[in-house]
Amino acid sequence: MLDHQSFVALEEQNSWSTRALECWSTEVLEQKPESPKAKPRPNELKDGTPKKQKQCNCKHSRCLKLYCECFASGTYCDGCNCVNCYNNVDNEAARRDAIEATLERNPNAFRPKIASSPHGARDSREEAGEVLMLAKHNKGCHCKKSGCLKKYCECFQANILCSENCKCMDCKNFEGSEERQALFHGDHANNMAYIQQAANAAITGAIGSSGYASTPVSKKRKGKASYLCIFLDNCLWRNCVG
DNA sequence: GAGTTTGAAACT
DNA sequence: CAGTTTCAAACTC
Ligand SMILES: [Zn+2]
Ligand SMILES: [Zn+2]
Ligand SMILES: [Zn+2]
Ligand SMILES: [Zn+2]
Ligand SMILES: [Zn+2]
Ligand SMILES: [Zn+2]
């Protein structure tokens, strides 16, 4: 089982995907028709929130569709690798139109897709488990081939079980699922990514923005991956970057 | 890194 | 609403 130290170590990873699913977009949600000052300021990092913007790689959406994770999360592209990006201050007009159109299709488009667990504060032991059980994907997934045990599945990606909202086929992402259990208790190696993702998702979901003094263990490793493996040097996963 | 798979989002 | 297409990420090798 993961000890507290592992949790702390993982905090830095700060899963973007999970964040995108959960966070309320700041710029977009301003439902008020005309706030006197429509501040054109890019992703303000509200103090405390580490601006670990994961970069998108959009090429054909101009980052003005929900396909773009940046746009979907209500943030401007910043440091992304996108092509023809309009999700920036220089294209504020187009961006606003896109937001409007998106909201017209789905008024909840920029709201969290995951209904947070009713109550935080669990006993330390299985808080990950609790979060995992209680949260629900508002729309549910519609997976057909992933068994909802890969990150293709939004439920799995958010580290939550599939719910009655889901219309997935051959779902294995439910409590008591052997396959799912195998991911966490399996023979080590291959499932490392999932363990790490799950652990991290649980972390960000549980304490992500609730303010938990960060204890950076290490900055960027190998320049890229901001991952920090929970098993550190003892990891058996061949792809582990540390 | 290139190529494939996947399912949400978009479109018809 | 259902079927299809588009899209970018997740995944595989
Ligand atoms: Zn983008
Ligand atoms: Zn972006
Ligand atoms: Zn962009
Ligand atoms: Zn699913
Ligand atoms: Zn699901
Ligand atoms: Zn499922």
User: Are A80 and A55 a contacting pair, CB within 8 Å?
Assistant: yes
pLDDT value of residue A112: 86
CB within 8 Å of A76: residues ≥ 6 apart: A27, A42, A43, A70, A87, A88, A89, A95
Residues 6+ apart with CB under 8 A from A173: A147, A148, A149, A153, A155, A156, A161, A162, A180
Share of chain A above pLDDT 70, in %: 49
> What's the A145 CA to ligand 4 centre distance in angstroms?
9
Q: With contact defined as beta carbons under 8 Å apart, do A125 and A44 qualify?
A: no
* pTM of the model as a whole: 0.68
> How far away, in angstroms, is A34 Cα from ligand 6 center?
41
For residue A234, which amino acid is it?
A: N
Lookup: nucleotide whose C1' is closest to A21 CA:
B8
Residue A35 has pLDDT above 80, yes or no: no
Note the pLDDT of residue A52.
73
Name the residue ranges covered by the structural domains of chain A: 54-112
Instruction: Give the pLDDT of residue A121.
Output: 37
Establish whether the CB of A67 is closer than 7 Å to any nucleic acid atom in strand C.
yes
State the pLDDT at residue A31: 41
Percent of chain A with pLDDT over 90: 42
Strand B nucleotides within a 7 Å radius of protein CB atoms: 5-10
Dihedrals φ, ψ of A136, to 5°? -140, 145
Mean pLDDT of chain A: 69
